[in-house]
Every structure is written in C-alpha cells, then in structure tokens.
Structure 1
Amino acid sequence: MTSLRTPAAALLPGLPTYSQTFPCRPSTAEIGRNLVRDVLGVWHLDSLADRAALIVTELIANAYRHTSCSEICLTVAQPEAVRVRVGVVDREPARLPILSRAADDDESGRGLLLVDAVADRWGYDLCGSGRRSWGKEVWAELRTGGGE
C-alpha cells in the first residue's frame, strides 16, 4: 500500500517530490499507476492522470523486461509549476532505453513509442558520476497547462 503522507526531498523549495521503492516485477505497474493517480489528485492535476499512468506502466514494464534489478524506485515530481515528471530508477546504468520500431507482428517493443507519443518529453539520466554510475532514471514529463 502506498502512502502520500511523507514527500521525499523536494527538487526545489516548495515543489513536491514523491518516491517509493518497489519490487521490480509486473504487478508493480498497478501499484505505480495508483500512486501516480493519487499524487496527481493531491496536486489537483487529475487531468494528467491517464497519460501519467500509461507512462508509469511502460517504464515499469521496461525495467522488469530489460534489467535484472530486484527493486526499482518510482518518482513523481513537479520540478516546475508547469510540468510534472514521472520516473523509474533502476540499478543498471549500462542498459539504456532505446526508441525503436517494432514490426507489425511483434508482440512487444512498443513501450517507449507509447511514452514518446503521450509525453511532452522523455529521456534518462545516469545516477552517480562518470564511471561510478550506479543506475539510471528513465523519466517522462507532462505539461500541467498552468503558468505558460
């Protein structure tokens, strides 16, 4: 069960961030969707919930399929008043996300295409520094529509 009572350290003063560590398995996607919907509800950004839930589902699925990590950390942040960022942190910095085209008859391989289609922008950041990277965060951002 997730809790919204304790925000993680904010990226900037006054701008909230929530993060929680989960097992890296397919069932975590449902928990992640619920957490994102709850956080966006608290922030009165319910209009972003469907897109953010789809993004989180795909990012968690990619972490499960393409890493051997036992845990991931889901983050939901509002680094600026006009954008929300959702991300998944894993401990495999060498397994970078690649946007590729799946063949028509492929049963998988479209996750990042979906993220690319619904996010305003997406990418990844390595955690740590240089050769000492210990992981990566794959993230996507959505505009809130306010303050533009």
Structure 2
Amino acid sequence: MPLIVARPTGHPGYSATLPREPGSAATARRLVHVALAAWQMEELADVAALIVSELVTNSVQHARSNSIRITVTRPEAVRVRIGVVDKSKQFPVPREPSAEDEGGRGLALVEALAEDWGTDPLPWGKRVWAELRGKGHE
C-alpha cells in the first residue's frame, strides 16, 4: 500500500505516489473515496472515481516514467480537484474514436463529467486535472 499524505495546513488535500501500472487505478479510486468521505462529499464519489480511473489509465498508457502522483485537493468548500502528475511533457488531446475503436474515449468522458479539466505544464512533466463541484457545501 502506498503512503497517502494529507496536507497539514492550507487547502485540504491528499496525495499518493503510485507505480505507473494499470492496478494503480484501483488505489487512486480508493484515495478519492477517502478524501471525499473525509470532506463529507460522498455524492461526488462515483463520478470522481471514474474520472481518476480515466486520468490514471491515460498516464499509464502514454507516460514513460516509473511512477505517477495522484492528488485530490479541495481548493474551495464546494470544489474538488483531482490530478494525475507524470513525467511526460506531451499534453493529452481528446480524440474522436471510431465505433470500432476499443479505447480513446477517456478524455471525452472526463470532459463530459467534470465541471472543468485541463493540463498544467510542470518543469519535469505535466499535471492533468479535473474539477467537480459539490452540492450544498459552504
């Protein structure tokens, strides 16, 4: 089990560094569930778990580092940001897969489910993130 770290000060947040392998999506989903339960925002759990799965899968398929970093932060009382950091500088691009394609729909799904999403360049790679908004949390 990876070391999961909660921020001691500032905006609340959780993070974990995981191996860049398909099984890390399940660990990332658990991290998202833990964070949302701690913040009493469980109504976002299913959508957030699907989003983090897609972001992790994209990173596993396209990045070339040994590990990825998952972050779950709460920049505002009603907003949650899920991020996946890897060492690839190549930004993800949504595409239009054909009906026969088995993959290629992940970013379109993230775009449809998230309130907002994007990619931040980092000196050593990038962070792909998606934001969700909770209901009635002030």
Q: Under a length normalisation based on structure 1, what TM-score does the superposition of the two structures give? A: 0.87
Contact 1:81/1:146 (CA < 8 Å) preserved in 2?
no
State the distance in 2 between where 1:143 and 1:70 align. 32
Q: How does 1:2-81 map to 2 (within 5 A)?
A: 6-8=5-7, 13=10, 15-81=11-77
Deviation sequence 1:70-97 (CA, Å, 0-9, x none) = 100000000111200001000111x101
Secondary structure of the corresponding residue to residue 96 of structure 1: coil
State the distance in 2 between where 1:89 and 1:43 align. 23
Shift of residue 39 of structure 1? 1.0
Pairwise CA RMSD of aligned residues?
A: 1.6
In the alignment, structure 2 segments of 5+ residues that lack a partner are none
State the distance in 2 between where 1:135 and 1:124 align. 10
Shift of residue 67 of structure 1? 1.2
Contact 1:29/1:61 (CA < 8 Å) preserved in 2?
yes
State the distance in 2 between where 1:84 and 1:9 align. 17
State the distance in 2 between where 1:104 and 1:140 align. 26
Indicate which of 110, 127, 132 corresponds to 1:137.
Answer: 127
Residue identity over aligned pairs, in percent, reads 46
State the distance in 2 between where 1:124 and 1:9 align. 26
Q: How does 1:91-102 map to 2 (within 5 A)?
A: 91-93=87-89, 95-102=90-97
Secondary structure of the corresponding residue to residue 107 of structure 1: coil
Shift of residue 146 of structure 1? 3.1
Indicate which of 107, 110, 123 corresponds to 1:115.
Answer: 110
Distance 1:140 1:106, change over 3 A: same
Find the counterpart in structure 2 of residue 130 from structure 1. none
Question: What amino acid sits opposite 1:45 in the alignment?
Answer: M
Q: Under a length normalisation based on structure 2, what TM-score does the superposition of the two structures give? A: 0.93
Shift of residue 2 of structure 1? 5.2
Contact 1:73/1:89 (CA < 8 Å) preserved in 2?
yes
Which runs of structure 1 show a deviation greater than 4 angstroms over 4 or more consecutive aligned residues? none
